[in-house]
Chain A
Amino acid sequence: MAAISRDEVAHLARLSRLAVTEQELDTFAGQLDVILQAVARVGEVAAADIPPTSHSVPLTNVLREDVVINCLTREEALAGAPDVEEDRFRVPRILDEEA
């Protein structure tokens, strides 16, 4: 059985605001399936004495003191913006969603 369905790929594409053609859906579903199957093989060798991990380095508590550093200037901050108005990043309107 496939690790990811075509419908799931379509759903993820929509969440990511990616325009994906019907043709691409077939292609990506196949490719993602191969990737997920490969990753799933890790589960085959994971014994009960190996705890699940999300990080490749065995570190905890990497923290920063609460000290102010220099920010970017506004010009620098806005340099990469697609569009600027009133010193703010200008983006297309957002419909139906409020975070």
Chain B
Amino acid sequence: MTTTTLPTYDEAIAGFEPVIGLETHVELGTNTKMFCGCPTDFGGEPNTRVCPVCLGLPGSLPVANKAAIEATIRIGLALNCSIATWCRFARKNYFYPDMPKNFQISQYDEPLCVDGYLDVEVDGKTVRIGIERVHLEEDTGKTLHVGGATGRIHGATESLVDYNRAGIPLVEIVTKPVPGAGALAPEVARAYVTELREVIRGLGVSDVRMEEGSLRCDVNTSLNRPGEEWGTRTETKNVNSLRSVERAVRSEIIRQSAVLESGGRIIQETRHFSEETGDTRPGRSKETATDYRYFPEPDLVPLAPDPAWVEELKAALPEPPRERRKRIQEAWGLSDLDMQSVVNAGAVELIEETVAAGATAAAARKWWLGELARRANEAGIDLASVGATPAQVAELQTLVDGGKLNDKLARVVLEGVVAGEGSPTAVMEARGLAVVSDTGALTAAVDEAIAANPDVAAKVRDGKVAAAGALVGAVMKTTKGQADAKTVRELILERLGAG
């Protein structure tokens, strides 16, 4: 195919209907690996979290992790799936050193959870994404390709393998094909992954961080002319952020439409998304892909989850994130846009807990989305790790409401709280930041300001009340900001007979 100028997205989508599908892998946050007791925490020295089982040494036998089975069933239930009453693990055979056994234990034709759905909001409408299956497998090791100029596989002369990640429980969630999204297909894909992440985070079974690879996403895309059969799909890998999910679908729609418009055909293949260029490049061709020779894993006995246990897990599921957001939005009286900014800031729980600790929703939102969000952004950290707790924020607001702090002083106190100097009350007292409420001291400061600015005082006496601002400023300066500006203003006007 010759390279031609690519159409715009609007041009590309005008003649075609896209069908998308998503495969998402989620690393579970269990203490131990799927089939052995090696720890799973991120970032250990290479090959220090391995044992005979996950190294595939002769004579070792896997035993399934009960917590991983439970987490997978809970994910399935949260996605409205049916849970298998009997299923098996399967061996997926392939020759690649990221698994030392030369096979990966996965599930094939008998997944643990099947046939569910997840509702997502796109452009004010609800889109139901069908879930084909949710199954459990083990993650692979990490390979480092060396000797080549690029660090990529092509050109490398050897590979170095770290098996710390090999065997970590990995849940694969596969959607049914999603037709009918039209031009919104990229947004639908992104909304689905966003919502799925919220659901899984809500279950507390994974930290679902795309940048650390605990949530990974492959995106299938095909195009067809209206009224015709679905086209050949491509699978795009290496999609490592929510934004990339959307971009990958968009760029693949543009690329495929250009191929089809010029009379070419789409090859069923795996493509790789590039963060830098925002487009996809060909990878392995599916037509020559390995024949995995799946068969039931002989070293593991079948799973038969007790229906009574499954019912218990179902009854104990948390409120679905979407319903929870709706409930909270109504309770807090937020617009869709305001709610969206709360969600995007990762502040829903924090505000909820602050409200529970006694603050109003408006005050809680003001602190978390204002001063604290700014600090978190500056430090490049999550809002939850900013250094202030919901209880402290609520306490700070109580001090403001009680007139002990004004807004400016409250910010200074918050700075102390974030720096670890203690509770807001402790910081206020230790730094001597309370509002000066001693009228005698204030009156003295006011008189001093009037004496120092006779011309301003004269204007105010003549009825130019607006000029009092300069005197208020002077008083605030002498009291180091620790006076209530409104009280100061009233005092000044009273003293100058202009009140």
Say yes or no: B301 contacts A67, CB within 8 Å.
no
User: B158 is contacted by which of A60, A62, A91, A99 (Cβ under 8 Å)?
Assistant: A91
In the complex, chain B residues whose CB is within 8 Å of the CB of A64? 32, 37, 63-66
Segment 53-99 of A: residues with Cβ below 8 Å from B: 54-55, 57, 59-69, 71-74, 77-78, 80, 85-99
Say yes or no: B160 contacts A89, CB within 8 Å.
yes
Chain A's closest residue to B40 (CB) is A68
Question: Which of A72, A73, A90 has most B Cβ within 10 Å?
Answer: A72
Segment 48-71 of B: residues with Cβ below 8 Å from A: 48-52, 55, 57, 63-69
Given contacts A54-B298, A91-B161, A94-B153, contact A74 B284 (CB under 8 A): no
Query: Could you count the A-B residue pairs with CB atoms below 8 Å apart for me: how many are there?
Result: 151
Question: Which of A11, A17, A90 has most B Cβ within 10 Å?
Answer: A90
Say yes or no: B147 contacts A93, CB within 8 Å.
yes
- 27 residue pairs from A and B, CB less than 8 Å apart: A55-B296, A62-B64, A64-B37, A64-B65, A64-B66, A65-B67, A66-B32, A66-B68, A67-B31, A68-B38, A69-B36, A71-B48, A74-B47, A77-B47, A77-B55, A85-B146, A86-B46, A88-B160, A88-B162, A89-B47, A89-B163, A90-B160, A97-B96, A98-B283, A98-B284, A99-B94, A99-B99
Say yes or no: A60 contacts B63, CB within 8 Å.
no
A46 in the interface, Cβ–Cβ < 8 Å?
Answer: no
Chain B's closest residue to A16 (CB) is B95
In the complex, chain A residues whose CB is within 8 Å of the CB of B257? none
In the complex, chain B residues whose CB is within 8 Å of the CB of A90? 158-161
B264 in the interface, Cβ–Cβ < 8 Å?
Answer: no
- Chain A residues at the B interface, C-beta cutoff of 8 Å: 11-12, 15-17, 54-55, 57, 59-69, 71-74, 77-78, 80, 85-99
Q: How many B residues, CB 8 Å from partner?
A: 64
When chains A and B are docked, how far (Å) is the Cα of A96 from the Cα of B290? 11
Say yes or no: B304 contacts A74, CB within 8 Å.
no
When chains A and B are docked, how far (Å) is the Cα of A78 from the Cα of B50? 10
Segment 285-300 of B: residues with Cβ below 8 Å from A: 290-291, 293, 295-296, 298, 300
Segment 19-42 of B: residues with Cβ below 8 Å from A: 30-32, 36-39
When chains A and B are docked, how far (Å) is the Cα of A54 from the Cα of B89? 11
Chain A interface, DSSP helix/strand/loop, else mixed: loop
Say yes or no: A88 contacts B65, CB within 8 Å.
no
In the complex, chain B residues whose CB is within 8 Å of the CB of A67? 31-32, 37
When chains A and B are docked, how far (Å) is the Cα of A17 from the Cα of B95? 8
Chain B's closest residue to A85 (CB) is B160
In the complex, chain A residues whose CB is within 8 Å of the CB of B291? 11, 15
In the complex, chain B residues whose CB is within 8 Å of the CB of A92? 158-159
In the complex, chain B residues whose CB is within 8 Å of the CB of A55? 296, 298, 301-302
Pairs of residues from A and B, 10 with the lowest C-beta to C-beta distance, nearest first: A69-B37, A66-B67, A54-B296, A88-B160, A63-B66, A60-B304, A64-B63, A89-B161, A87-B46, A99-B96
B365 in the interface, Cβ–Cβ < 8 Å?
Answer: no
Chain A's closest residue to B48 (CB) is A74
Chain B's closest residue to A91 (CB) is B97
Say yes or no: B160 contacts A63, CB within 8 Å.
no
In the complex, chain A residues whose CB is within 8 Å of the CB of B295? 54
In the complex, chain B residues whose CB is within 8 Å of the CB of A59? 301
When chains A and B are docked, how far (Å) is the Cα of A15 from the Cα of B156? 22
B184 in the interface, Cβ–Cβ < 8 Å?
Answer: no
B88 in the interface, Cβ–Cβ < 8 Å?
Answer: yes
Chain B's closest residue to A73 (CB) is B48
Say yes or no: A60 contacts B86, CB within 8 Å.
yes
In the complex, chain A residues whose CB is within 8 Å of the CB of B86? 60
Chain B's closest residue to A87 (CB) is B46
When chains A and B are docked, how far (Å) is the Cα of A55 from the Cα of B55? 24
User: A62 is contacted by which of B57, B63, B88 (Cβ under 8 Å)?
Assistant: B63
Say yes or no: A60 contacts B93, CB within 8 Å.
no
Nearest CB on B from A55, distance (A): 6
In the complex, chain B residues whose CB is within 8 Å of the CB of A94? 96-97, 143, 145, 153, 156, 159
Chain A's closest residue to B86 (CB) is A60
Say yes or no: B49 contacts A71, CB within 8 Å.
yes
B98 in the interface, Cβ–Cβ < 8 Å?
Answer: yes
Nearest CB on B from A49, distance (A): 18
In the complex, chain B residues whose CB is within 8 Å of the CB of A65? 66-67
